[in-house]
Structure 1
Amino acid sequence: MQSIRRAHRILRALADSPDGLTVTQLSAELQLPPSTVHRLLAVLQEEQFVSRPDGKSWCYLGPESLRIGLAARRPRVTSSLRAAEVVSELADTFGQGALLVELRGRRAESVLQCGLADWAGGYAGDLMPFHAVAAARALLIDMDRAEVMRLLSEYEFLPRRARTPGTVTELLQRVDTVRRRGHETVYGEFVPAVWEFAAPVRGGSGQVLAGLAVVWHEARTTAEQAVRISEQVARAAREISQEFGYAC
């Protein structure tokens, strides 16, 4: 317990010092022996809670500390009544299904659905596979390779369709495409002959809160229809984002 408390004190000290602290400064501020600080920093650095970019004495909060901090500040999209209205409006507009997916721990979970009783179970609370569902893939749009690898370290790529990514490398290639376009369009990767059009919903600091998608059961969709649906989903995602303070 003592080591955990001391590690927490180191992290709090670094959180209060965005310009970083040296081992000597940490030792003096926390009144701990330098050897103790060195030992704790080694563990924290290995787990990416602390970063020492020059490999020397200056210490900063690492990417894992940032990830946890963002998660703690990330609001639930379901707290917005407008989000539920937008999902319903999308389903009504296209006469198809619409859903919102959030990252819950290491899982992508459907939190709002409308018109999807015959697709993927069709119930809020359903888990959405990252490699096969556009809305779940949209959650990864801002993550770098290392973050995606950590998130999917225990993920099982269950076989779906021939065009569905089957490995982390293949999924990362798709995420790169999503990142460049700002939205995702897939066809027949989760359910045969079904299109999915998805875009990220963002919070006030720009972090991804959810993936919004329309599920379109029309195999003979024209290029013009696909563009129109993608644009409307992107607009709807921006509208929800504005509810959470994101300046689109």
Structure 2
Amino acid sequence: MTKESDGYVRALARGLAAVEALGRPPGRHTLAEVAFATELNRATARRVLATLVSLGYCELSGRYYSLRPRALGLGMSYLSTLPFWGHAQAVLEDLRNELAESCALAVLDGTEIVYILRAPARRILAGNLGIGSRLPAHLVSLGRVLLAGQTQASLDAYLTAAELTKRTDRTISDPETLRAELAKVAQSGFAWVDGELDPAICGLAVPVRDGKGRLLAAISVNTISGSLTEAVAKERFLVPLRRAAQEMRLRSPGGD
């Protein structure tokens, strides 16, 4: 749906854009900052923010606006619709405890992955990542698994829209090379990515599916790059990862 469509509600779009802007670090923003982030003029941004204050989604303290706890309900509404959400935390924590490595669960949103759960190990990796954090899909094992499960049309659209940013000297940034890599992931059922987002981090991921085989999410184990090879990672992590994914599937409605 385009912004010119009769079904497009501009006021709602502006309100959601303001909520997203307020959720960015450092978590408190002036009217001018919100106006700039949402590409609204100050008068419009002021009305949008005043509405959000009156509805209890944000508050004004001095010059600064910040979100209130009610805004958390917007994200939780999505999480509660996921068929595996009710038990995914326990499954992920059990996996983390078994492997003594950081584990994560993510979904695909456009050209990015969004973390919906994360269970860090004691040797914290990228500790600033949490629920709702985003990363470019092509850079991490979670994203490779999710991209490999897309239809050909969806993958073509992704490769057209995505900026395949090169973060390290190991990052795959060529569309056709990435396409070939995703074909391997689709065939093997797992993705291994080493040092493409951060030279110090590597990860192994597998898909999480529902009872009908539809791709819902991806689950990963992440550790320090150089601490093990792909072969060792597969030997140590692949069976536990697949077992965790299957446990989420079996506990989902219609997962038998």
Task: Tell me the TM-score range normalised by the shorter chain.
Answer: 0.5 to 0.7
User: Is residue 250 of structure 2 the alignment partner of residue 237 of structure 1?
Assistant: no
Displacement of 1:98 = 0.7
**d(CA) in 1 for partners of 2:213 and 2:190?**
15
1:186-201 pair list within 5 angstroms? 186-201=193-208
2:92 is paired with a residue of what secondary structure? helix
1:90 is paired with a residue of what secondary structure? helix
Partner of 1:24: none
Q: 2:95 aligns with which of 83, 90, 109?
A: 90
Flag the 1:197–1:226 CA change in 2: closer, same or farther, 3 A: same
1:109-120 pair list within 5 angstroms? 109-115=114-120, 118-119=125-126
Post-superposition Cα deviations, 1:96-152, rounded to whole Å, max 9, x if no partner, equal 211101123553201101117541732111112111110111112222332112134
Moved more, 208-217 or 107-116: 107-116
Partner of 1:14: none
**Structure 1: runs of 5+ lacking an equivalent:** 2-73
**d(CA) in 2 for partners of 1:128 and 1:85?**
24
What's the TM-score, normalizing by structure 2? 0.61
2:134 is paired with a residue of what secondary structure? coil
**d(CA) in 1 for partners of 2:114 and 2:189?**
21
Flag the 1:246–1:227 CA change in 2: closer, same or farther, 3 A: farther
User: Is residue 104 of structure 2 the alignment partner of residue 99 of structure 1?
Assistant: yes
User: Is residue 150 of structure 2 the alignment partner of residue 143 of structure 1?
Assistant: yes
**d(CA) in 2 for partners of 1:152 and 1:120?**
29
User: Is residue 135 of structure 2 the alignment partner of residue 128 of structure 1?
Assistant: yes
Post-superposition Cα deviations, 1:14-58, rounded to whole Å, max 9, x if no partner, equal xxxxxxxxxxxxxxxxxxxxxxxxxxxxxxxxxxxxxxxxxxxxx
Partner of 1:173: 180
Opposite residue 124 of structure 1, the aligned amino acid is I
Post-superposition Cα deviations, 1:142-179, rounded to whole Å, max 9, x if no partner, equal 22332112134322112112222103222211110111
Flag the 1:142–1:226 CA change in 2: closer, same or farther, 3 A: closer
Q: What is the total number of aligned residue pairs between the two structures?
A: 177
Flag the 1:142–1:79 CA change in 2: closer, same or farther, 3 A: closer
1:122 is paired with a residue of what secondary structure? coil
**d(CA) in 2 for partners of 1:179 and 1:205?**
17
**d(CA) in 1 for partners of 2:198 and 2:169?**
11
**d(CA) in 2 for partners of 1:247 and 1:123?**
27
Flag the 1:216–1:134 CA change in 2: closer, same or farther, 3 A: same
**Structure 2: runs of 5+ lacking an equivalent:** 1-5, 7-78
